[in-house]
Structure 1
Amino acid sequence: MEETDDIKSCQDKHKENTPKSSPFDFVIKQFQGKRSSSGKRKEQPSAIKEFFRGFDFGKSEGKDRREIEKTEINNSGDDDQSEKQDLSAEDEPPRLVSEEESPSGKERFNQFMEKLGKKPNTKNLDLNNCALSAADVIELASLLPFLPELEEISLSWNGCVGGTLKSLTVQLHHVNLLKVLRLNNCRLTAEDVTSLGEAFEVVPQLEELDLSWNSSVGGKLSLLTKKLQKGCKLKLLKITDCNLMAKDGESLAEILNAIPNLEVLDLSINKHIGSSMKVIAQDLKNVPGLKELNLHMCGLKQDSLQGLDTALQHLAELRKLDISGNKEIGGGFKDATVHLASLKNLEVLDLHQCCVTEEDMTVLSQVIPLLSSLQKLNLSSNKNVGVSSYPLLGRLRFLPKLKSVAISNCGLGEESFSSLAEAALHLPELEILDLSWNKCVGGNLKLLWEALKLATEIQVLRLSSCNLVAEDLALLTLLMQDGHLARLRKLDLSYNNNVSDEGWAVFCQGLAVFKELSELDISLRPSSCRDCGMWFSELLAALTKLPALAELGMQRWVLSESQRKRLENFNEDNKRNIRFDC
């Protein structure tokens, strides 16, 4: 009874702290709470002791008091032991995952590709434009040991690759079957170029290397080339727009004898390398199997063109020669075409924007018709092509394999256009014809009537800014209605502001017969705008009958609110891309 009274007294004493529960409930809850929280376990025994010491057990017998204290100590000891075990468990390092439980290399690779939204492919790793982070590159490097069959790696258009490439190259020995490495626009650094050069020793099967659009490569190409091993299997080397300097050209020339299997060399858009082109040309004899040489906008001059022509005698396998965009070579062809005519396998010749002179045209008129395998010829943006008294265009009839002829912005006159029309009668395989920016075509398209009837393979016809009139559009429509131009896929009629509304109406009424058409452009010049009210309905009706049409350009045509809405709805309903001004 006394003990009960003491407890009751104590209960009253602590009533403020436990308004709705008994003191023992409070103790138990506190005790249980402490045990469930590992962060406060060290305080549990002392807190419990202090709480029980607040009660007056003095009136109880000594034995009872000792038993209570003994029980308390035992309980505390048990709790301390439990706590030690819990804390010991916390201090232990995490249990190592067994090999059976850890994800395999293949699973990790699949997870990595899934994270980037790509399908896993253990032979072709295509991560172009995937917004890779530096951490992604490092993770990818750790996965290479699990991809022994890998043959292609494409990391182009991922800026974060720059500065982290070494983490990848040190693992390339695991993928010694690698044949293709593409690193376009990766912001490569000098260190990256060095580490890449060091990796050449461990990827002996490498055949294609593309470093284009990495400006920091300029001035540092020797860090790469000096590591190339003699007898390297490299077949393709692209270093487009890398800010290459003259010394880079010299470094490249020095290692051409180490890569005898080279088939494609692209140095385009490196305007400072032209001064070393004579040196490069001298060593091109070491790559006799070269099939493609791209030197677009390389700052070539007349003397470098002459050196290049000398090298052509060693390049009998050449299929493509692009020396376009080198304005300073104009006037140099008269002394640099001795060996050009010997390229019997040449299929592509690109001379656009080379400022060829009338004297050049004299030579080219004699040489180009001798290139019996020629399939693509681009003479665009050379004004003297159209005014030359030497009939180069008329002599294209001797090139029956021609598939693409680009004579855009060549200042054609009616005489030269007529010569082209006659030559086109002998080009049965013609697929692409670009006559844009030649004003004489307008009103004279009828000269091409017979040629276009025979051009059963033609797929692309570009007549932008040709001063076309309604009669010309009616001619095209009539050809289609008669079953010609059946394979036409792309038709460019833009910037022909002289076509009347009646002409556009007739064209739109017959547009539905262009069944294979996928792209059409009827936009006006940027400086003008017109209402398309009277033929808009005809256009929209025709579009519904052209399932292949994916793109339609009609910019600068003024649309009413209802017309714009109808086009927007058509775009949405038919998944088309009609470009018009809002």
Structure 2
Amino acid sequence: MSQTRKKTSSEGETKPQTSSVNKFLRGSKAESRKENNDLKTTDSQPTNWIQKTAPSETAKPLSSEMELRSSMEKYEQFLQKLGKKAVNKCLDLNNCGLTTADMKEMVALLPFLPDLEELDISWNDFVGGTLHSITQQMHLVSKLKILRLGSCRLTTDDVQALGEALEMIPELVELNLSWNSKVGGNLPLILQKFQKGSKIQMLKLVDCTLTSEDGTFLGQLLPMLQSLEVLDLSINRDIGGSLNSIAQGLKSSSNLKVLKLHSCGLSQKSVKILDAAFRYLAELRKLDLSCNKDLGGGFEDSSAQLVMLKHLQVLDLHQCSLTADDVMSLTQVIPLLSNLQELDLSANKKMGNSSENLLSRLRFLPALKSLVINNCALESETFTALAETSVHLSALEVFNLSWNKCVGGNLKLLLETLKLSMSLRVLRLSSCSLVTEDVVLLERFCFPASVIQTGHLAKLRKLDLSYNDSICDAGWTMFCQNVRFLKELIELDISLRPSNFRDCGQWFRHLLCAVIKLPQITEIGMKRWILPASQEEELECFDQDKKRSIHFDHGGFQ
């Protein structure tokens, strides 16, 4: 880290950064000059700006422009050694490996940043135990709007100090305390200062070990937060027990646009509780209930109010153990969400033989951009219904069918969709039991010589064909000869299964030739393909000659 900092400091240009710092402080300096002229302060009297930006009892007033410039230079140097650049009204030290000394230096600079609106010191372990030194200066950055303290190893004393300091920053609109386990059990200490009329719009408490009592407190607090638009309580497995209180509070959150309850220990009863709140959330855009494995069966009689979410754009129900009856109920609701753009039903294996009607009716979602149904144990009938529907999804950008074995040998059913896919950006067919014939058809119908004119997959950026070990070398050769037509491709994955190792055939040479004609590609996954010495040399020569930043992830030479 020290070497990185030294290099960054020596190579950084000071002019642009000085300009940025000047811009940061320009408003305060102008205000100071105006007050000096109007009030005719003497040299012995501190200006209003200095009174506002320096600790009232301990700091000495700035007496000259030279001292102000010195503080600017210190701020600039501090950012340089951390590899950061000054950004107007923003101090972003996210994941900078801050040391205790860095923390002290940052705290000393806060008095000179009176217009600071964003402070991000997330993912810095040494923040824990020292937060009080920052919170004591909160009155000096009272214009702060965004405070991010994710994964800072906050202690109980830290969260208590934070709670006392939050009233010093009444303009706060975003608070992120995610991945701090000591928040759990202490949430009232932190948020007790939030009063009715709070401007908070975004509250993120992911993986904070929240207790059922925390959930109850939050439910009582929500009616106070009338401006709240984003609430993320994901990975707090104990709040399911207080969902009644949270749902009651949500009824007063009419401006809420994002609600994330991923992996929150929700049960079948939870669906009914939430369903009663949905009618009050007319502005909701994103709903994430994923990875609640006990949710299965809850939608059978309790999803009617989902249809009230007319503006819903993202619905994530992956890994929720959906039953056949759940799917039947959702079939009546999901196609009516006409603004839906992203739908994730993946890892619900019981829907494989019961989702034919649901998949058929997806054609009524013209705005759908992302459809993720990997690992759903689709059967031939359901896959056929999906293929027929996908032709009507002209806006589709992400299509994930991975881990559905029925695709193998039946890819021809999707060819019309692939031929017409002008918008498709991501296609994932990992572990689909694809055979050589599938690749031949893909090559023949979707990578024709006229691909640029016809637009077949012309916008594709990520293609995943990994774990399809049944494709022979001849199939890979045909594929590699024609992949060059995907001019916007960034990532390609053709890795083998973990249990399988094979020698690269002559197709590897075709792949290298194709890569030359792919100007944007940066990542090629080919794990467990064994490169013999001759191909290893070819790859090394390619890296040296082409000077391209392309990562061939083959797991090492065998």
TM-score (norm 1): 0.82
Amino acid at match of 1:355: S
Question: 1:576 and 2:550 equivalent?
Answer: yes
Count of residues in correspondence between the two structures = 487
* 1:80-119 alignment, distance < 5 Å: 102=67, 104-119=70-85
Q: Deviations over 1:51-96 (max 9, x none)?
A: xxxxxxxxxxxxxxxxxxxxxxxxxxxxxxxxxxxxxxxxxxxxxx
Question: For 1:421-450, what per-residue CA distance to the aligned partner results, in whole angstroms no more than 9, with x for missing partners?
Answer: 111111110000000000010111110111
Quick one: which of 555, 561, 564 aligns to 2:527? 555
| Aligned residues of 1:571 and 1:578 also touching (Cα < 8 A) | no
In structure 2, the residue corresponding to 1:286 is in which secondary structure? coil
Match of residue 180 from structure 1: 146
- Partners of 1:155 and 1:163 lie apart in 2 by 14
In the alignment, does 2:339 pair up with 1:367?
no
Q: Distance in 1 between matches of 2:550 and 2:462?
A: 15
8 Å Cα contact 2:356/2:385 also seen in 1: no
Q: Distance in 2 between matches of 1:144 and 1:230?
A: 29
Q: Is the 8 A contact 1:552 1:578 kept in 2?
A: yes
SS of residue in 2 equivalent to 1:574: coil
CA offsets, 1:348-367, max 9 Å, x none?
00000000111111101111
Which amino acid counterpart does residue 113 of structure 1 have in structure 2? Answer: L
Matched, 1:565 2:537: yes
Deviates further, 568-577 or 297-306: 568-577
Identity of aligned residues (%): 56
1:335 counterpart = 2:314: no
| Cα distance, 1:108 vs structure 2 | 2.0
Q: Which residue matches 2:8? A: none
2:447 pairs with one of 455, 480, 488:
480
User: Match of 1:236?
Assistant: 202
Residue equivalent to 2:186: 220
Establish whether residue 260 from structure 1 lines up as the match of residue 226 from structure 2: yes
Where do 1:443-462 residues align within 5 Å?
443-462=409-428
Distance 2:242 2:217 in 1: 10
User: 2-side partners of 1:117 and 1:517: how far apart?
Assistant: 31
Q: Which has the larger radius of gyration?
A: 1
Higher RCO (CA 8 Å, separation ≥ 6 residues): 2
Residue by residue over 1:517-547, the C-alpha shift from the partner in whole angstroms, topping out at 9 and shown as x without a partner, is: 0000000000001111221211111111111
Q: 1:138 aligns with which of 79, 104, 109?
A: 104
Matched, 1:392 2:392: no
C-alpha distance in 1, partners of 2:135/2:355? 58
Q: Select the residue among 461, 467, 470 that pairs with 1:498.
A: 470
Deviations 1:332-380 (A, max 9, x none): 1012202101111000000000001111111011111111110000000
State which of 464, 470, 480 in structure 1 corresponds to 2:430: 464
1:379 touches 1:385 (CA, 8 Å); kept in 2? no
Aligned counterpart, 2:497: 525
Return the letter of the residue paired with 1:506.
Answer: M
* Cα distance in 2 for residues equivalent to 1:100 and 1:492: 59
Give the C-alpha shift of residue 412 in structure 1: 0.7
State the Cα deviation string for residues 541-565 of structure 1 (Å, max 9, x = none): 1111111110000010111122123
In the alignment, what sits opposite 2:518?
Answer: 546
Query: Does the CA-based 8 Å contact 2:343-2:370 persist in structure 1?
Result: yes
8 Å Cα contact 1:381-1:407 kept in structure 2 = yes
- Which runs of no fewer than 5 residues in structure 1 stay unpaired? 1-96
Distance in 1 (CA, whole Å) between partners of 2:466 and 2:391 is 26
Distance 1:274 1:523 in 2: 39
Q: Paired residue for 1:536, among 496, 508, 517?
A: 508
* SS of aligned partner of 1:150: coil
Change (3 A) 1:346 1:389: closer
Is residue 356–residue 382 contact of structure 2 (8 Å, CA) maintained in 1?
Answer: no
Structure-2 separation of matches of 1:100 and 1:319? 50
| Per-residue deviation, residues 89-141 of structure 1 (Å, max 9, x unmatched) | xxxxxxxx985664532222112112212112241111111111122222212
Q: Tell me which amino acid in the other structure corresponds to 2:517.
A: K
The 5 Å alignment of 1:304-315 reads: 304-315=270-281
Decide which of 274, 297, 314 is 2:240's aligned counterpart.
274
Q: TM-score of the superposition, structure 2-length normalised?
A: 0.85
Contact 1:122–1:147 (Cα < 8 Å) also in 2: no
Deviation at 1:381, TM superposition (A): 0.5
**Contact preservation (8 Å) 1:225, 1:251:** no
Which residue identity lines up with residue 316 of structure 1 in the other structure? A
Q: Separation in 1 of the partners of 2:523 and 2:388?
A: 32
Letter in 1 for 2:447: M
Partner of 2:344: 378
Per the alignment, in what secondary structure is the counterpart of residue 207 of structure 2?
coil
More displaced 10-residue stretch of structure 1: 331-340 or 492-501: 331-340
AA matched with 1:540: L
SS of 1:349's equivalent?
A: strand
Q: Decide which moves more: 562-571 or 259-268.
A: 562-571
Which has the larger displacement, 563-572 or 344-353? 563-572
2:245 maps to a residue whose letter is: V
Structure 2 distance, partners of 1:396, 1:98, is 69
For each residue in 1:443-486, what CA deviation from the matched residue of structure 2 results, as whole angstroms up to 9, or x when unmatched? 11110111122221000000000011122222222312242010
Q: Deviations over 1:304-340 (max 9, x none)?
A: 2211110111100000000000010100101220210
**Cα deviation, residue 198, structure 1:** 1.4
SS at match of 1:393: helix
Contact kept in structure 2, 1:495 and 1:524, CA below 8 Å? yes
- Post-superposition Cα deviations, 1:373-407, rounded to whole Å, max 9, x if no partner, equal 10000000011222116511011001111000000
Which segment is superposed worse, 97-106 or 432-441?
A: 97-106
Q: Provide the secondary structure at the position in 1 that maps to 2:235.
A: coil
Whole-Å separation in 2 of the counterparts to 1:104 and 1:435: 59
Task: Give, in whole Å, the separation in 1 of the partners of 2:318 and 2:274.
Answer: 17
Contact 2:234-2:263 within 8 A present in 1 as well: yes
How far off its partner does 1:227 sit? 1.7
* Structure 2 Cα separation of the partners of residues 540 and 104 of structure 1: 54
- Aligned partners of 2:483 and 2:354: how far apart in 1? 37
Counterpart code for 1:453: K
Structure 2: how far apart are the matches of 1:174 and 1:480? 61
Separation in 1, partners of 2:518, 2:328: 46
Tell me, yes or no, if the aligned pair for 1:505 and 1:535 is still in contact at 8 Å: yes
Give the Cα separation in 1 of the matches to 2:190 and 2:345.
36
Sort the Cα spacing of 1:138 and 1:122 in 2 relative to 1 into closer, same or farther, 3 A. Answer: farther
Deviates more, 1:567-576 or 1:219-228: 567-576
Change (3 A) 1:254 1:98: closer
In structure 1, distance between residues paired with 2:142 and 2:540? 53
Which residue is equivalent to 1:90? none
SS of the residue 1:499 aligns to: coil
In structure 1, C-alpha distance between the alignment counterparts of 2:241 and 2:106, rounded to whole Å = 40
Query: For residues 581 and 389 of structure 1, do their structure 2 counterparts lie closer, same or farther at Cα, with a shift above 3 Å needed?
Result: closer
Deviation at 1:229, TM superposition (A): 2.1
Query: 1:569/1:172 Cα in 2 relative to 1: closer, same or farther (>3 Å)?
Result: farther
State whether residues 220 and 245 of structure 2, in contact with CA within 8 Å, keep that contact through their aligned partners in structure 1. no
Q: Is the 8 A contact 1:253 1:279 kept in 2?
A: yes
